[in-house]
Amino acid sequence: MMRRFTAGRIATYAYFVVTCAVLLYPLFFMLLGSFVTVDQYHRTKVIPIPNRFSFEEYANVLTGGLEPAILVTAKRVLWYLALTLVVSLLGGYVFSRLDFPGKQAIFMFFLSGLMVPGILISLPTYMLLARWPLVGGNSITGTGGHGFVNEWPALFILGMVDIFGLFLVKQNYDMLPAEYEEAAIMDGAGLFTIVFRIYAPMLKPVLTAVTVITFVAVWNDYFYPLLLVAGNADLTPIALAVQRLIYSFSTREGVAMTPFPTLFAAATLMCTPPILVYLALQRYFVQGLVGIGLKGA
């Protein structure tokens, strides 16, 4: 049976079409703009139309310093993905399945951290890493050197416990029947067997959601690398590298026209991995987020 296209339905569809067009236009402009020449770009009226699709600008961007930044960011992504998934699985199990004094108070204390804007703790975080004892030339009292600032650990210490991921997984643990665990215990299964071999497959949707959220957050991380490792070019992640690339081209002397196609190529390289990860995992991503609303904390 054919649907009746009422005025309300038509207005709704029109709204979504316009919204999608507004959201996708900058992406298409950026993508197509990376394949045109500088002269073609400056003659663009609505959207750049390349005469040919050449990846020369992408090669220039990679050889110009973006490739090392991608490697640095990839290392951070792998570290935080592994750490977040393991901590969320174990922590979610502890707060969902185990009973101990102060469990709810501790969990609510962790959740309260989500209410504090990150900018408020940026200075204390910097001081903590800068005054870390016995590293970076610091004495036992944390003075005399630079600590972990501009060093590798500054990129890997922060955020070792993802409270939001822990919350998502804990909520999904609450929805799973306890009979699975009881049967496993009767068969002699230990804690890690229960968590990683029994519950982990059941939690695939929410773990996928945590993976996507963590990947995007770490890949796009700009503020804390700027704060903590801006003085070490070898530790520059991709978000900071793209910003520096844009700034260098924008302030370069003797250039008649800003090479926007090169900047678009750099931005496209930065945007592509998160988009591909989301498109590949979007089915489970939506299921994982929807599941947390089925049972209260």
Residue 256 sits in a domain whose CATH number is 1.10.3720.10
pTM for the model: 0.87
Band of residue 296 on the pLDDT scale cut at 50, 70, 90: very low
Q: What is the mean predicted confidence (pLDDT) over 9-18?
A: 90
Question: In this predicted structure, what is the pLDDT of residue 272?
Answer: 92
Band of residue 1 on the pLDDT scale cut at 50, 70, 90: very low
Backbone angles phi, psi at 278, to 5 degrees: -65, -45
Evaluate if residue 98 carries a pLDDT over 70: yes
Q: What is the mean predicted confidence (pLDDT) over 269-279?
A: 91
Residue 16 domain-assigned (yes or no): no
Band of residue 289 on the pLDDT scale cut at 50, 70, 90: low
Q: Which of 34-43, 67-76, 205-214 has the weakest average pLDDT?
A: 34-43
Q: Which residues form the domain of 192?
A: 56-291
Residue 7 domain-assigned (yes or no): no
Evaluate if residue 235 carries a pLDDT over 70: yes
Evaluate if residue 214 carries a pLDDT over 50: yes
Say if residues 203 and 123 touch (Cβ distance below 8 Å). no
CA–CA distances in Å: residue 131 to residues 147, 227, 282: 5, 15, 42
Q: What is the mean predicted confidence (pLDDT) over 168-178?
A: 89
pLDDT digits (tens, 9 = 90+) for 115-153: 888 889 999 999 999 999 999 999 999 899 999 999 999
Q: What is the mean predicted confidence (pLDDT) over 43-65?
A: 84
Residue 14 domain-assigned (yes or no): no
Q: Which residue has 């990376």 as its token pair?
A: 34
Q: Which residue has the higher pLDDT, 221 or 65?
A: 221
Question: In this predicted structure, what is the pLDDT of residue 184?
Answer: 87
Residue 76 domain-assigned (yes or no): yes
DSSP 194: I
Question: In this predicted structure, what is the pLDDT of residue 8?
Answer: 81
Q: What is the mean predicted confidence (pLDDT) over 247-269?
A: 78
Per the structure, the count of domains in the chain is 1
Band of residue 44 on the pLDDT scale cut at 50, 70, 90: confident
Band of residue 207 on the pLDDT scale cut at 50, 70, 90: very high
Q: What is the mean predicted confidence (pLDDT) over 245-271?
A: 79
Residue 256 domain-assigned (yes or no): yes
Residue 112 domain-assigned (yes or no): yes
Burial class (CB in 10 A: 0-12, 13-18, 19+), 131: buried
Say if residues 225 and 234 touch (Cβ distance below 8 Å). no
Band of residue 80 on the pLDDT scale cut at 50, 70, 90: very high
Say if residues 72 and 152 touch (Cβ distance below 8 Å). no
Backbone angles phi, psi at 95, to 5 degrees: -80, -15
Evaluate if residue 48 carries a pLDDT over 50: yes
Band of residue 54 on the pLDDT scale cut at 50, 70, 90: confident
Q: Which of 38-42, 160-164, 265-269 has the weakest average pLDDT?
A: 38-42
Question: In this predicted structure, what is the pLDDT of residue 297?
Answer: 41
Q: What is the mean predicted confidence (pLDDT) over 254-275?
A: 84
Residue 19 domain-assigned (yes or no): no
Residue 195 domain-assigned (yes or no): yes
Q: How far apart are CA 99 and CA 295, in angstroms?
A: 19
Q: What is the number of other CB atoms lying within 10 angstroms of the CB of residue 234?
A: 10
